[in-house]
A and B are shown apart, each in its own frame.
Chain A
Amino acid sequence: MINRRDFLKNTAKGIAGIALPLAAFEIFNPGKLFADKSDSSKVRYVFLIDTYKCVGCGMCVKACKHENEIPYDANVTRTWVERYVMTKEGETFADTPKGARDGFTTSRIDLGGGKFQDIRQKDIEKAFFVPKLCNQCENPPCVQVCPVGATYQAPDGVVMVDRTWCIGCGYCIMGCPYGVRFFHPVYHTAEKCNFCYHRITKGLKTACVQACPFGARQLGNIKDPADPVTKIIMTERVGILKEEYGTKPQAFYLGLDREVK
């Protein structure tokens, strides 16, 4: 029969033995794992969208799909353009057929399910286009809800996904109020716009900025006071999307309408 002393001794030994391999599992901090980039703290990427300049051609969406290898015909996209049409009677219509990959080729509004709405030219009060992409929020709910830390925010503000670690639960997709996330049709992991991180860290422009013929999209560094984008954000009246969620989005809009969803 085992006595109390031996029992306690063996228990202590057992716990120590179990604890040793447990120490191998470190609760990892995605921030630490992020490769050290010199001066990264001096950069905070932001986006500026001038909705007055957007004509809804969809070049940005096309460029993004090619650059980031999102299957061209798949009905998901990292960035898209929305069309808003308000009638004189106060009705608001909005659509984004195929994310406006091919632009807006018809004046009819896509109501989904193969139905379209014709709006006569003379009934239109106002109409405009709004490009959308990830807001790289300062307080990203997608990062908060990831159960395994596969999605993380770099010190320069860009939120990214580790395709080798994502379990595909979809919690981040549900957590994003802007609907920018989806499952990649090929890799089957969570996917999102990352401001073309592979390009911007080399000093290049994002694919969508480069493709926009009208300069409606611009990338900037909010920590650099000399940056033209920073100057616009600081001196002009810019809006953000869905402020009420407290996500502190970092994509700023010029000419944002209250009807923009």
Chain B
Amino acid sequence: MVHGELWTVKELFVYPNEYIYWSVQIVMYPFMTGLVAGAFVLSSLYHVFGIKQLREMARFALVFSFALLFVAPMPIVLHLQYPFRGVNIFMTPHFTSAIAAFGIVFSAYGAIVASELWFLYRKHFVEVALPLKEKQDKSLLEWLKFIVFCSLTLGVYDVSEETLKRDEKAIRVLAAIGIPVACFLHGYAGFIFGSVKANALWMTPLMPVIFIMSAIVSGIALCMLTYIITMELRKWLWSRKKSSYRYMESKQELAGVEVNVIRITAKYLLMFLVLAITLELLDLIFRGYTAVKSWDVIRSVIYGRDFTDIFVLQYAIGNLIPLIIFLLPGLTIRRAVIGVCFVIFGVFMMRWNVVIGGQAFSLTFAGYMHYHLPIVPQDWETFKEGLAGALSIALMPFPLFWVMSKIFPVFDAKESH
């Protein structure tokens, strides 16, 4: 069977070779990179602009962004017909292609986040490594920990006040450089779509900007959600084993911090959400107003075939309801959870409507294609380009984050600065 034939249903006049070639993994790709960029921008709000209230969130967001970073290229790998040839992009980058820049942008961004993390946690590494170094009879686990943290210090054990001050300056500089690079990382994902002149729905210079805005929205929302979950876990752990648990804050104290952080972060979420909606509506209005050749078919997709996906799932549930939830005064944790879940869902639907919606009509402008997501995997292809593949990608960051938080503790303020 031809690739794409399994999940594509054609209607009316469609060219014989047309199928939905870019399926759910290409929806996941901008969704995941968006989360990376968004989480990083959130952490930079504290480091660069000195928004003190976000201090607690900043460290959390940075580590989470690092965990997400490793997942971001996975959808592409799963999508490729030859995953092992993916390295060709690094070997022979063909720079007229937007995808060729991936290697450079991605590694540059990874290097920035890694170095920022190093400066942020340098003191912590030293504080863990030094006592282990002096300890005489180390157990195997301690040996392992010693080797890991010792190498993480990169041989720098100087943690005097003065050097720590310099570290902070380095973090600020890195975070400042990181913002445009993070925006570039994601804006360029938008460019991949926006520059396809053959696709009437994708081709707009607004695409990168729309992608960046919705990326920041989704990144902040996911950070808030994960933050709330971890805080609730801490509260639960605290009440379960009060004495043995090493965090000694009281439960009320934790809850107070939690609500405060969430309320502040929600304000920034709201700001970027409004920007994202404005840009998306601008794009829609502009298309309708200029009404070029492709508008007839695009209109029939937007207002007809994909009406539920776009106006109900994306705009109403994903944008309008969270907007109301966050605008109403006295935001509670429970309401915030509902709000951010809707926001994340809304951004996912936006990616879906761009990627799948862009292939919902034929290049002939006289036919349509319907996408049927493979739910139950029958073979490797229906696994990786189906629901199972998408879910594995969506869940992958969380275990990674858990492992990373063992090395970069996201909460204990005393251990790092």
The answer to whether A174 touches B198 (Cβ under 8 A) is yes
Number of B residues with CB within 8 Å of any CB on chain A: 51
Interface size class of A (residues with CB under 8 A): 35 or more
The answer to whether A261 touches B81 (Cβ under 8 A) is no
Kindly list chain A residues whose C-beta atoms are within 8 Å of the C-beta of B18: 179
Scan residues 361-398 of chain B and give those whose CB is less than 8 A from a CB of chain A: 362-367
Kindly list chain A residues whose C-beta atoms are within 8 Å of the C-beta of B92: 25, 27-28, 148-149, 165
Scan residues 43-83 of chain B and give those whose CB is less than 8 A from a CB of chain A: 76, 79-82
Scan residues 293-341 of chain B and give those whose CB is less than 8 A from a CB of chain A: 293
* A175 at interface by CB-CB < 8 Å: yes
The answer to whether A94 touches B81 (Cβ under 8 A) is no
0 or 1 for each of A44-83: is its CB under 8 Å from B? (1 = yes): 0000000000000000000000000000001111001000
* A216 at interface by CB-CB < 8 Å: no
* B99 at interface by CB-CB < 8 Å: yes
Kindly list chain B residues whose C-beta atoms are within 8 Å of the C-beta of A166: 81-82, 85
Kindly list chain A residues whose C-beta atoms are within 8 Å of the C-beta of B363: 177-179, 261
Kindly list chain A residues whose C-beta atoms are within 8 Å of the C-beta of B21: 170, 173-174, 183
The answer to whether A179 touches B98 (Cβ under 8 A) is no
Main secondary structure of the interface of A (DSSP, over half): loop
A142 to B97 Cα, complex, angstroms: 9
Main secondary structure of the interface of B (DSSP, over half): loop
Kindly list chain B residues whose C-beta atoms are within 8 Å of the C-beta of A182: 2-3, 17, 19
Scan residues 205-222 of chain B and give those whose CB is less than 8 A from a CB of chain A: none
The answer to whether B4 touches A261 (Cβ under 8 A) is no
Kindly list chain B residues whose C-beta atoms are within 8 Å of the C-beta of A113: 9-11
The answer to whether B2 touches A112 (Cβ under 8 A) is no
Kindly list chain B residues whose C-beta atoms are within 8 Å of the C-beta of A188: 3, 81-82
Chain A: CB-nearest residue to B366: A261
The answer to whether A245 touches B198 (Cβ under 8 A) is yes
The answer to whether B89 touches A168 (Cβ under 8 A) is no
* A233 at interface by CB-CB < 8 Å: no
* A161 at interface by CB-CB < 8 Å: no
0 or 1 for each of A104-129: is its CB under 8 Å from B? (1 = yes): 00000001110000000000000000
A181 to B95 Cα, complex, angstroms: 21
A245 → B minimal CB distance (Å): 6
The answer to whether A169 touches B88 (Cβ under 8 A) is no
* A213 at interface by CB-CB < 8 Å: no
Kindly list chain B residues whose C-beta atoms are within 8 Å of the C-beta of A196: none
Kindly list chain B residues whose C-beta atoms are within 8 Å of the C-beta of A183: 2-4, 21, 81
B42 → A minimal CB distance (Å): 30
Q: Which of B11, B13, B100 contacts A94 (CB 8 A)?
A: B13
The winner among B17, B76, B89, B192 for most chain A CB atoms within 10 A is B17
Instruction: With A167-B80, A182-B17, A261-B13 as known contacts, state yes or no: A76 contacts B2, CB within 8 Å.
Output: yes
* A99 at interface by CB-CB < 8 Å: yes
* A135 at interface by CB-CB < 8 Å: no
Q: Which residues of B come within 8 Å of A, CB atoms? A: 1-5, 9-19, 21-22, 76, 79-82, 85-86, 88-89, 91-100, 102, 192, 195-199, 293, 362-367
22 sample A-B contacts, Cβ–Cβ < 8 Å, listed by A number? A25-B91, A27-B95, A77-B16, A92-B366, A93-B13, A96-B15, A112-B367, A146-B94, A147-B99, A147-B102, A148-B85, A150-B88, A165-B92, A170-B81, A176-B198, A179-B363, A179-B364, A182-B3, A183-B81, A188-B81, A188-B82, A245-B198
